Amino acid sequence: MVLCTLSSVHAADATTPEQKLAALGVTLPPVPAAIANYVPAVRSEHLLFLAGQVAKGADGKIIAGKVGRDFTEAQGAEAARTCAIQLLAVLKAEVGDLAKVKRIVRVGGFVNCTADFTAQPKVVNGASDLLVAVFGDKGRHARAAVGVAALPAGAPVEIELVAEVAD
């Protein structure tokens, strides 16, 4: 997972999304390569649909395990945050400047979890909280948080996103 440290500047004091990311100690990674037959993003008018991202560790390998068995709720939330960071890398690559994001419209969160795990919304908050920290009210979004039996490569979390962007 991508580890982030807080800088001396608070995200609330920063003005642009990139400055907010820097204030949070977040560096966007290279855009992850697709692991199957799809593209990372598709634009339709002002909507940008981003393919789901699974969390990768510092070594670039997909993190594997099941929330409720191999990962705690907090570790699952950190994996969801990492997915959101990867989504922001794709978003920036597509639009060139995160200030062009008019709104995060929707987030879909899938949690690979045990059958008795019911805190999927808290896990997906790892992604949602970061998006609100970076975009403020424009980062508030509609959302689904769903528990699933398995995800690609055994990932604990997959997050997808739809954003409204300027020309």
User: What does the DSSP assignment read for 78-134?
Assistant: HHHHHHHHHHHHHHHHHHS-GGGEEEEEEEEEEEEB-TT---HHHHHHHHHHHHHHH
Judge whether 3 lies within some domain.
no
pLDDT at 2: 43
**CATH number for position 82:** 3.30.1330.40
Please check the confidence at residue 11 and state whether its pLDDT lies above 60.
no
Question: Over the stretch 42-90, which tens digit does the pLDDT of each residue have?
Answer: 999 999 999 999 999 988 899 999 999 999 999 999 999 999 999 999 9
Please check the confidence at residue 140 and state whether its pLDDT lies above 50.
yes
Judge whether 81 lies within some domain.
yes
Rounded CA separation 120/117 (Å): 8
Judge whether 155 lies within some domain.
yes
Judge whether 6 lies within some domain.
no
Judge whether 5 lies within some domain.
no
Mean predicted lDDT score pLDDT of the chain? 92
CA angle 117, 64, 51 (to 5 degrees): 90
pLDDT at 58: 86
Judge whether 55 lies within some domain.
yes
How many structural domains does the chain have?
Answer: 1
Judge whether 45 lies within some domain.
yes
Question: Over the stretch 143-166, which tens digit does the pLDDT of each residue have?
Answer: 999 999 999 999 999 999 999 999
> What pTM does this model have?
0.91
Q: How confident is the model at residue 167 (pLDDT cuts 50, 70, 90)?
A: confident
Judge whether 2 lies within some domain.
no
Q: How confident is the model at residue 1 (pLDDT cuts 50, 70, 90)?
A: very low
* Residues spanned by the domain of 26: 11-165
Rounded CA separation 147/118 (Å): 8
